[in-house]
Structure 1
Amino acid sequence: MPINPQRLDSQRLGRRALLENSTLLLTAASMAPATVFADDVPSPFKIGLVTDLHYADKPVAGNRYYRETLAKLEQAALQFEQADPAFIVELGDLIDAADSVQTEQRYLKTINREFATICSERHYVLGNHCVDTLRKEEFLGGVGQEKSYYSFNQGGFHFIVLDACFRSDGQPYGRKNSVWTDANIPPAELDWLQADLKSNQSPVIVFAHQRLDVSNSHGVKNNADVRRVLEESGNVRVVFQGHSHQNDLKDIGGIHYCTLVAMVEGSGTDNNGYSTLNLYRDGTIAVDGFRKQADYRW
C-alpha cells in the first residue's frame, strides 16, 4: 500500500536510530580540487543511489519480496532526508515484469508516486524489467524523463546515464520481445558516448543497469567496446551499476566498476540496500552504504 505521510512522520526518529552504514572510499588522486568544485558547490556534493527495487503487487518469488519494496523505500527516504542529496539515481528495475501493459503501468505509478516524493531531481536508468512489457517511451513517460541515455553536468562532475536495453540486432526491449541475457549498447549510443566524452574535460561518473565489468549473463555483450571508450577518455572515475543484485567491485583500466546490492532481496527492512554518494572537494569519492550495502575501502 502507499506510504502514509503521517505514519512516516511518527516513525521518523525511531527509524533513524535503526539506520546502519558503511563507507566505500574511492580516492582519485589525479582529480585536482580546483577542477572538481566551484566555490559555490558544497563539499561533499551528495547523490542518492538505489537499484533493483522490482516493485510489483505479486507474491514472493524465491528471495524477491516484491511488495515489501514500499517499506524499504520508506526507510531509504529517511536516510536521504538527512543527507539532502542534490539528486537521486535509480539504477534500473524499478518495477518487475507484469503480464499486461495495464498491470505494469500500475506497478510503475505506485512505486514512482512514493519515489518522486524523496527528491525533486531524479534520474532513471532503464532496467530489463522496466521494459519487459512496457515500451521505453511508456516507462519514460511514466516517470517524466525524456531520454533513456544522456549526460549532464552538476557539482563539477560530468554524469552519464546509459541504456543497454537493446537486443543484439539493435532493437529496443519492449512488449516481451527480448531475453534479459541479450543486453547491448548499440552503435549509435556508443558513437554518442565517444563524442560526449571527447567534448568533456570534467571528471566523469557513469550510471548503468547491466554490468560493464563481466562477461557472464549479467554483462552487456559488447562491454569490452564500451570499456575501451570509457578508458580512452581518461576522465571516467567510477561506473555504478546494478542488475546482478549483489555487492561487487572490480577495477579495470583505471576505472572502478561498483555493483550495488538490490533492494528487493530478502524480507524485512534489515534486508535492504541503498547508498549516498559523496563527492569531496579534495577529489575523494565516498559511498556511504546502508543495511546490506557492503563496506568497501581503498
Structure 2
Amino acid sequence: MSKDKHPTQPGRRAFLKNGALVLTAASLNPSQLLHAEENAKRLRFGLVTDLHYADKPPGGSRHYRETLHKLEEASNQFQQDQPDFIVELGDLIDAASSVDVELNYLKTVNREFSAICKNRHYVLGNHCVDTLKKEEFLGEVGQEKSYYSFDRDGFHFVVLDSCFRSDGVPYARKNFQWTDANIPAAELEWLKADLNATDKQVIVFAHQRLDVNNNHGVKNNAAVRKILESSSKVLAVFQGHSHQNDLNEIGGIHYCTMVAMVEGSGTESNGYSIIDIEPNGTIHLNGFRNQKDYNWARQA
C-alpha cells in the first residue's frame, strides 16, 4: 500500500476496537477522520534513516547527492504532520576522502535536516564515523552523547550506539570492519539500569540491527534483547542499516527495520515515516513512498 503512496495523501489507518481491527478510512468520512485524529491524545515523531549524503556520483543503487531533494520532500510532509520530534537512525553521511570533506558533507545535510524540527535525535551509524570520530560528528550536530534516553509525553525513549568493535574500541577513522558491530559492556549495564529506573513504556532507536545474526546484525544482540525483554517495558525497536523494509517480533517486541532514503533515483524512491503512539501503547507507522505502513496493538 505505502510503496506507491504519495506524500500528503494519508493512507488508511488501522485501530483496535473491542479486540477487532478497524480501518477508520472505511468507516468515517474525511472530516470525521480528521476530527477523530485531532482529538486523540497521541505522541507523534518522524523517522528517517540511511541518507548517506555525499557530494559524489552514484554508487550502485545509492544516489548520494539526491538525498537532499528527498529530504526536502520529507521535510514538507513533516511540516504538515507536525511531529513532536524527529529521529535520524544513522548513516546520515557517506564516507569521504578526508576529515574536512566529511565535515562539509555533514554541515550540508544537517543544515537541511536541522531546519525541519528543533527537537532532533541522531543515532550513530557506521558511515557517520568512517572518517570522523564520534565526538566530531556529535559536536557538529549538537548532540552531547552517542547513547542516552529521554522521556516525552508519558513514554521513555532509548538511543543506542552499536559502533564499537568486539574489543570495545569505538569506531573512528576507518579503524573497524562494518560487520563487527557491538554494544559494549558499559553500555549494556547502562541500558539495564536505565530500563529498571523507568515506569514508562519504552521505544528503542538503533542503527545496526538487533534482530538478525547476519552481517547487518549487532554481534551481541542476544544479550541486548535479553535486557529489553527482561524489562517487560519495550514496545518496539526502530532500526536501519540494511536499507530494506523488514519486521520481526521477538519476545513480544517489534523490531522494525526502515527503508533507506539513499536507495534509488528520484523522489519515487524516497522513504520516511510518521509514527503515532496511543496512550495505551498502540503504534501506528504511516510510511511514505517506499516505507511500509504498520499498526501494532499493545499486548496485555
TM-score bracket for the superposition, by shorter chain length: 0.7 to 0.9
SS in 2 for 1:289: strand
Mapped partners of 1:17, 1:252: distance in 2: 32
Residue in structure 1 matched with residue 28 of structure 2 by the alignment: none
1:176 to 174, 177, 190: 174
1:230 matched to 2:210? The reply is no
Mapped partners of 2:8, 2:200: distance in 1: 34
Shift of 1:17: 7.1
Residue in structure 2 matched with residue 98 of structure 1 by the alignment: 96
Q: What do residues 40-95 of structure 1 show as CA deviations (whole Å, max 9, x unaligned)?
A: x9722110100000000001000000000000000000110011111100000000
Residue in structure 1 matched with residue 56 of structure 2 by the alignment: 58
- Measured on the aligned residues, the alpha-carbon RMSD in Å equals 1.9
Shift of 1:26: 9.0
SS in 1 for 2:286: strand
Amino acid at match of 1:121: N
Residue in structure 2 matched with residue 203 of structure 1 by the alignment: 201
Mapped partners of 2:236, 2:271: distance in 1: 19
Question: What's the TM-score once normalised by structure 1's chain length?
Answer: 0.87
Mapped partners of 1:77, 1:92: distance in 2: 17
Mapped partners of 2:211, 2:82: distance in 1: 31
Amino acid at match of 2:110: N
Residue in structure 2 matched with residue 135 of structure 1 by the alignment: 133
Segments of 5+ residues of structure 2 without an aligned counterpart are: 19-38
Q: What do residues 217-246 of structure 1 show as CA deviations (whole Å, max 9, x unaligned)?
A: 000000000000000000000000000000
Cα 1:216–1:21 shift into 2, 3 Å: farther
Mapped partners of 2:12, 2:131: distance in 1: 37
Residue in structure 1 matched with residue 24 of structure 2 by the alignment: none
> Is the contact between residue 24 and residue 289 of structure 1 (CA under 8 Å) also seen in structure 2?
no
Residue in structure 2 matched with residue 46 of structure 1 by the alignment: 44
1:75 matched to 2:69? The reply is no
Shift of 1:281: 2.7
Q: Which one scores higher on RCO, CA 8 angstroms, separation ≥ 6? A: 1
- State, as a whole percentage, how many aligned pairs show the same letter: 67
> Is the contact between residue 125 and residue 209 of structure 1 (CA under 8 Å) also seen in structure 2?
yes
Question: What's the TM-score once normalised by structure 2's chain length?
Answer: 0.87
> Is the contact between residue 20 and residue 290 of structure 1 (CA under 8 Å) also seen in structure 2?
no
1:296 matched to 2:294? The reply is yes
Mapped partners of 2:113, 2:90: distance in 1: 13
Amino acid at match of 1:271: S
Residue in structure 2 matched with residue 213 of structure 1 by the alignment: 211
Cα 1:160–1:26 shift into 2, 3 Å: farther
Cα 1:17–1:166 shift into 2, 3 Å: closer
Segments of 5+ residues of structure 1 without an aligned counterpart are: 1-15, 30-40
Shift of 1:20: 5.0
> Is the contact between residue 52 and residue 67 of structure 2 (CA under 8 Å) also seen in structure 1?
yes
> Is the contact between residue 131 and residue 139 of structure 1 (CA under 8 Å) also seen in structure 2?
yes
Shift of 1:265: 0.2
Cα 1:175–1:200 shift into 2, 3 Å: same
Cα 1:131–1:123 shift into 2, 3 Å: same
Residue in structure 1 matched with residue 106 of structure 2 by the alignment: 108
Residue in structure 1 matched with residue 116 of structure 2 by the alignment: 118
Mapped partners of 1:224, 1:259: distance in 2: 17
> Is the contact between residue 50 and residue 89 of structure 1 (CA under 8 Å) also seen in structure 2?
yes
> Is the contact between residue 23 and residue 286 of structure 1 (CA under 8 Å) also seen in structure 2?
no
Cα 1:24–1:129 shift into 2, 3 Å: farther
